[in-house]
A and B are shown apart, each in its own frame.
Chain A
């Protein structure tokens, strides 16, 4: 089955700096790669996703890049703000659903 590795497990950045979270996947048939943000005590919510026919997608301060050959994809957050503090999960699709990474705890230092 699909295996998704996510790094780092914890990331601390100064407010205003950029943050990058990386994921690798194992199944070359995966073609959908979403990123979810989970604030403390809340449900995971989709923030951005990318499909295999696209190499990069951007939405304001958030961007995702995909390298299908290398089987890795990354989340980039620029100009980080206090409200970006949360746990971020990457995921890769398989036939019947998604396999999630273990999550990255992003801490924004004032």
Chain B
């Protein structure tokens, strides 16, 4: 199993541009999450999904959108990028219920200039 994969690894955006961060897991996990981690800080939950077709907001959803059309994929969309969205973005997944280990992807480092 590849586990949780994310693309791209790095990206530089100009203010106002849009992009989609990709996340895929091959473990048939129902729960998937998007976090952002600012330098030297902890993990903040952006959006999450408890299964295909179901998404919900986390702590910091403004400026982002998600969709979950399949169990495997959970893309994160940034519309009108702003410097405040400069961060490292981690995707994670959990199988067998939320009370289990979250497996993290390798992260996407995004810079908005």
A contacts, CB < 8 Å to B: 31-32, 34, 42-46, 49, 51, 89, 93-98, 100-103
Contacts and interface: CB of A to CB of B under 8 A. Distances in A.
Interface stretch (B20-28, B74-82, B92-100): B92-100
Interface string B44-69: 01001010000010000000000000
B43 interface: yes
B31 A44 contact: no
A32 B99 CA distance: 6
Interface string B73-113: 00000000000000000100010001111101111000000
Contact of B33 (A51, A93, A94, A97): A97
- For B43, B50, B90, the residue with the greatest tally of chain A CB atoms inside 10 Å of its CB is B43
Interface secondary structure of A, over-half rule: strand
Given A89-B42, A93-B98, A97-B48, A43 B31 contact: no
Nearest to A94: B98
Nearest to B44: A100
B2 interface: no
Given A45-B104, A96-B98, 5 more contacts: A31-B99, A34-B102, A46-B101, A93-B99, A94-B98
Contact of A44 (B90, B98, B99): B90
B91 to A, nearest CB: 10
10 interchain residue pairs of minimum CB distance: A32-B99, A43-B104, A102-B42, A100-B43, A93-B99, A103-B42, A46-B101, A97-B98, A44-B104, A96-B98
